[in-house]
Amino acid sequence: MAGSSKRNQNDKRTRIIDAAIQVIAEKSYHLARISDIAKVASVADGTIYLYFKNKEAILLTIFEEKMEELIGIVRLELDAITGAEDRLLCFIEQHFIQVRRHPELARVLQIELRQSSHFIHDYRPESLWEYLKIASEIIKEGQEEGVFRPDIDPFIFQWSLFGALDELSVQWILSKKRERFPFQQVAQQIGSVFLSGLTTK
Amino acid sequence: MAGSSKRNQNDKRTRIIDAAIQVIAEKSYHLARISDIAKVASVADGTIYLYFKNKEAILLTIFEEKMEELIGIVRLELDAITGAEDRLLCFIEQHFIQVRRHPELARVLQIELRQSSHFIHDYRPESLWEYLKIASEIIKEGQEEGVFRPDIDPFIFQWSLFGALDELSVQWILSKKRERFPFQQVAQQIGSVFLSGLTTK
DNA sequence: TTTAAGAAAATGAATAATTATTCATTTTCT
DNA sequence: AGAAAATGAATAATTATTCATTTTCTTAAA
């Protein structure tokens, strides 16, 4: 079949990434053996090194590719909405929707990734900044529209909001009884607090 | 000198903890060798194992003891203040004050600790919950006083606030140019947003 | 269509490097 | 003298990574 070689290559690469997400989410990054990932992906250990420089590169690739995917989805959702207030609420809601939709990926991105010393200390997470930029852009829009307080620094605000979203997601992921963090209510409450705090009186 | 043996023991234990904070803050947890810590503490490698079960136990001990210390300080500061609104602002301010006062410790608690798989996955961080409880208690007080919205869930709010404080501290710690996060302004902005979002109209 | 040579991809057993931890010995204290 | 504390060289266990070998794919000549 024409092109089947290339397609199979992609399949194999995808299989490795998917297997890594699954295994790392289940056993944690440090306990996830390359051989575990290889087994789940149905490839030999060595094959992984044809596609990734080393174990950590798998983690960083997951981050980069999945974040870009997420950013695309969120941007698309936001395009359908006008008005800074509703757009901010949509952003908050989408964050939780995506976490719930892909809990294994969320665990890797929000918990395991941070056990990579390299990621924390040296890596420039461009796509994280792109994600944050979505939030700060909404703030700026709102300030231009006059619905958001002009004295709020979008840079500080974006980190506050991200911190809150992130922490609550992490607690949801880690909690055994996830009912303690009902997403619908969590999103509504965060949205309500941040929005009230942000809007002009 | 009477009691000098016991005091020296404590000295040695304290020296190890202080050395660990210093070395881990500088090199990161995984690159911090037991022998590095021992050297800075002026003890033999083996001596560390007379005081701590293993490397991770040092990290957990730092967490427990320093968090208790922090909680004591913050509680003391709060005791001097009445009114839920001012108490919440004080809590926020204190968080940043302590981070700036002990940047190496903050780095260990807020960044390196989270590279401990055990801490993330199995450990019950009682003293973190005690710290969060300070926040949620203030909310409840405010709700009873009638100055805070009764529809806000203190449990969700405490995590949102903590997430925001934590994320901004982390960014301050990691940023080369810390001027990008002027603490005074950051504390003021977070306080302003969370308070406006929380107060009854 | 068949074949075969060479290239590319995949394999997985062997390796190599690392460093937390131990413990036989020494030093200090009571 | 005996106990307690401290030492630091030796150990032991781990697993990511490598690479010699095998398998699969590609191409083009017969």
Quick: pLDDT tens for A28-46: 999 999 999 999 999 999 9
Torsion, CA B93, CA B95, CA B100, CA B103, rounded to 10: 180
Question: Which of residues A105 and A181 earns the better pLDDT score?
Answer: A105
List chain A residues with CB under 8 Å of B166. 163, 167
Residue B175 forms contact with A (CB below 8 Å): no
Q: How far apart are CA A88 and CA A151, in angstroms?
A: 18
| Token duo for residue B78 | 């709060």
pLDDT at B69 over 90: yes
Residue of higher predicted confidence among B72 and B182: B72
Residues 84-103 of B with CB under 8 A from A: none
Q: What is the mean pLDDT of chain A?
A: 92
Assess whether pLDDT exceeds 60 at residue A1.
no
Opening angle at CA B134, ends B77 and B200, nearest 5: 100
C-beta of residue A92 within 8 angstroms of C-beta of residue A165: yes
Give A156's contacts in chain B (Cβ within 8 Å).
168, 181, 185-186, 189-190
Q: Do domains B1-52 and B60-198 have the same CATH topology?
A: no
CA distance A77 to A73: 6
CATH topology of domain A60-198: Tetracycline Repressor; domain 2 (1.10.357)
Percent of chain A residues topping a pLDDT of 70: 95
Q: Is the pLDDT of residue A4 over 50?
A: no
Q: Does A192 reach chain B within 8 Å, measured CB to CB?
A: yes
Res. B111: pLDDT tops 60: yes
H/E stretch holding A18 reads helix A4-27
The better pLDDT of the pair A154, B199 is held by A154
Q: What is the mean pLDDT of chain B?
A: 92
Of A197-201, B72-76, B77-81, B106-110, the one with minimum mean pLDDT is: A197-201
Are A113 and A121 in contact, with CB atoms under 8 Å apart?
no
Percent of chain B with pLDDT over 70: 95
Residue ranges of domains in chain B: 1-52, 60-198
Can you give the pLDDT at residue B2?
34
Q: Say which residues have a Cβ less than 8 Å from residue B196's Cβ, sequence separation at least 6.
A: A196, A197, A198
Spatial separation of the C-alpha atoms in residues B6 and B52, rounded to whole Å:
17
Whether A92 has a pLDDT exceeding 90, the answer reads yes
> What's the confidence (pLDDT) of residue B34?
97
Residue B9: per-residue pLDDT: 64
Q: Within 10 Å of residue B169's Cβ, how many Cβ atoms?
A: 26
Q: Does domain A1-52 have CATH number 1.10.10.60?
A: yes
